[in-house]
Amino acid sequence: MSEIPDKRRRTDLDLFVLALIDGGVSTPYELQKTAGLSQGATIPALQRLLDAGLVLQGKPGARKRTDYKVSATGKKLLRGGWLPLIEAGPSGDIDSDLRVALLAIMGSGDRRLAANFLRQSAGKKMESIDATELTSDATAPLARWYTDLRSATAKVLITSEAEAIRAMAGALPRMPTGKPKRYAGSVKKQKGA
C-alpha cells in the first residue's frame, strides 16, 4: 500500500476523532463505546492531535481516564479540514469514506455533498471489479476452479460493499444533529440469497 492512502486514512481518522471530541466524546473509552472506534486506532490519533496542538489533555479522572478538549487551532481545522478530503475524492476504504462524508455534513450541513461523495465511493468500488479477475493458465482443474471461484467471490463481495455504501448515502442524516435513517433493510437481497 502506498504512503499517500495510509496518510489520508490517518488524516480523516484524526479529523473525525477531533470532531467527536468537539461533540463531547472526549476519552479513548468513550470513543470506543460511543463511536465504535478501536483504542488501537484512537490512542495514536489522540497522540497526533495532541502533538499538533489540536487538542488539550485534561487530568486523569476516575479509573485514570483522561479527557481531551479541542483547542482553538483544532476548532479552526474542524471548520474546513474536511474540504481537501472531499476534493481528493473517495479513497475506496468504506470506513474512511464514511468518516469523510459525515465530516462534510458536520462542516457544511450539505447532505447532498456527502451523499454524492459516498455514491462516488460506491462507483470506485465497482470499477475495481476488473482488478479481481484472476487468470489461470493452469490445465489442472483444481487450480482453475480455485482461481475462478476466488474471482467470482471477490466480485460478489465488492458488489455487496458498493450496495452497502449506496445504502449509507441514502441513510445520511438530513441535519447535522439528526439521526440517520435505518438502512439495513434498504439493501436489496441478492437473488438466491
Taking the whole predicted model, whether its pTM rises above 0.75 is answered as yes
**Neighbouring residues of 176: CB distance < 8 A, sequence distance ≥ 6:** 105, 106, 109
Rounded to whole angstroms, how far apart are CA atoms 163 and 51?
A: 38
- 18 and 65 share a domain? yes
Instruction: Find the domain containing 43 and state its range.
Output: 3-122
- Name residue 68's beta-bridge partners: 57
Q: What is the CATH classification number for the domain harbouring 64?
A: 1.10.10.10
> Is 46 in contact with 27 (CB distance < 8 Å)?
no
191 is a domain residue? no
Helices and strands in the chain, H and E counts: 8, 2
Please give the chain's pLDDT, 193 residues, in tens: 233 445 556 899 999 999 999 999 989 989 999 999 998 999 999 999 999 999 999 887 777 778 899 999 999 999 999 999 999 999 989 999 999 999 999 888 889 999 999 999 999 999 888 776 666 666 788 888 888 888 889 899 999 999 999 999 999 887 655 555 443 333 333 334 3
Q: Are residues 82 and 153 in the same domain?
A: no
